[in-house]
């Protein structure tokens, strides 16, 4: 009897497993056809010299000369790669801080909260795809305009502050980075729409009783921010960090990506562009893995 029951259960399980596979089969097919195959092919291509003929394309193996070319001969690639990574780290950190800060403010009760939230989410919809690329073009012109205006009329308060801090001569490069971030606060605000919403959803899951308990124990608001809020949303930090970095990699105004696409479309050098793409991808994944590992060790799971 027991044996029969067991057999029946495993039969049902089997059927459910088959149904499950049926449900996810579009993904598996798509993944194998449009992800694994192109990935393998482009990996192979990065070791080849690709010649596109009339009816087909040929691949001639040439070892690691594409990689050598990308790093040693190409004048821009290694510089762009380094700069891209520097920008990615600085901007991702800035986006995280900004998003966390804004979501803390938006989490409080005030009139017109829904309206403000809607505005902060607006860039996710309006500044995506091509429009983002156009915005950056515009901002270059706007910046030029601003510098011209600044040199003509009186100086602003922040400029004076920048000058004072610069002449102080301590940690000039750190200041420069901060100034750059402040100048580009618009870009940061545009890029942090989703992160704000995700942080907000995390903040709203924290039970009110925790804050009450903390305040009875004598916690100030500042202390309860670090002792209650921060640990409770630490898992959200991980999610947002991954999302931010991935988002940064896929942005249309990413210089490394532009370089790769240019190499492919304009110079028709498929092998070289594959090599460049793979280097960028591997470095990004490595960075993502190491940084998420470091963050995940600090994540606190409350259950």
Using the contact rule CB under 8 A, the part of the chain among 69-77, 81-89, 155-163, 255-263 near another protein is 255-263
Pick the binder of another protein from 118, 159, 174, 182 (CB under 8 A): 118
Asked if 201 touches another protein (CB under 8 A), the answer is: yes
| Binding positions for another protein, 8-67, rule CB under 8 A | 13, 16-24, 26-31, 33-35, 37-39, 41-42, 45, 52, 55-57
Cβ count near 78 (within 10 Å): 13
Asked if 250 touches another protein (CB under 8 A), the answer is: yes
Pick the binder of another protein from 154, 204, 209, 220 (CB under 8 A): 204
Asked if 206 touches another protein (CB under 8 A), the answer is: no
Nearer to another protein, 26 or 63 (CB): 26
Residue from 287, 298, 302 nearest 238 by CA: 298
Spacing of C-alpha 287 from chain mean position: 12
Instruction: Specify the long-range contacts of residues 158-167, CB closer than 8 Å, at least 24 apart.
Output: 158/182
211: which residues sit within 8 A by CB, 6+ positions away? 224, 228
Pick the binder of another protein from 249, 255, 287, 291 (CB under 8 A): 249
Asked if 126 touches another protein (CB under 8 A), the answer is: yes
Asked if 189 touches another protein (CB under 8 A), the answer is: yes
Place of tokens 């399980």: 13
Structure-block tokens of residue 105: 């403010």
Q: Is 35 exposed, middle or buried (0-12, 13-18, 19+ CB in 10 A)?
A: exposed
Site string for another protein, 60-99 (x = CB under 8 A): ----------------------------------------
Asked if 5 touches another protein (CB under 8 A), the answer is: no
Asked if residue 233 lies in contact with residue 202, where contact means CB atoms within 8 angstroms, the answer is yes
């Amino acid at each position: 009897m027991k044996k029969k029951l067991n057999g029946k259960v495993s039969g049902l399980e089997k059927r459910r497993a088959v149904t499950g596979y049926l449900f996810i089969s579009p993904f598996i097919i798509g993944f194998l056809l449009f992800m694994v195959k192109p990935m393998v092919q482009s990996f192979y291509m990065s070791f080849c010299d690709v010649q596109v003929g009339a009816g087909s394309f040929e691949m001639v193996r040439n070892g690691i000369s594409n990689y050598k070319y990308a790093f040693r001969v190409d004048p821009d690639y290694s510089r762009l790669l380094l700069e891209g990574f520097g920008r990615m780290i600085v901007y991702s950190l800035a986006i995280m801080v900004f998003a966390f800060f804004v979501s803390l403010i938006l989490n409080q009760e005030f009139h017109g909260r829904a309206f403000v939230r809607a505005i902060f989410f607006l860039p996710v919809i309006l500044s995506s795809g091509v429009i983002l690329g156009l915005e950056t073009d515009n901002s270059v012109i706007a910046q030029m305009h601003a510098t011209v205006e600044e040199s003509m009329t009186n100086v602003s308060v922040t400029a004076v502050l920048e000058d004072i801090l610069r002449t102080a001569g301590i940690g000039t490069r750190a200041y420069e980075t901060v100034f750059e971030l402040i100048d580009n606060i618009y870009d940061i605000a545009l890029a942090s729409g989703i992160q704000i919403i995700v942080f907000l959803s995390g903040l709203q899951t924290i039970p009110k009783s925790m804050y009450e308990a903390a305040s009875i124990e004598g916690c100030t608001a500042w202390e309860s921010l670090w002792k209650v809020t921060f640990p409770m949303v630490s898992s959200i930090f991980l999610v947002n960090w991954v999302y931010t970095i991935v988002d940064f990699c896929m942005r249309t105004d990413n210089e490394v990506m532009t370089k790769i696409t240019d190499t492919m479309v304009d110079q028709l050098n498929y092998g070289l562009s594959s090599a460049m793409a793979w280097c960028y991808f591997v470095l990004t994944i490595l960075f993502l893995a190491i940084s998420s590992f470091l963050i995940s060790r600090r994540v606190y799971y409350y259950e």
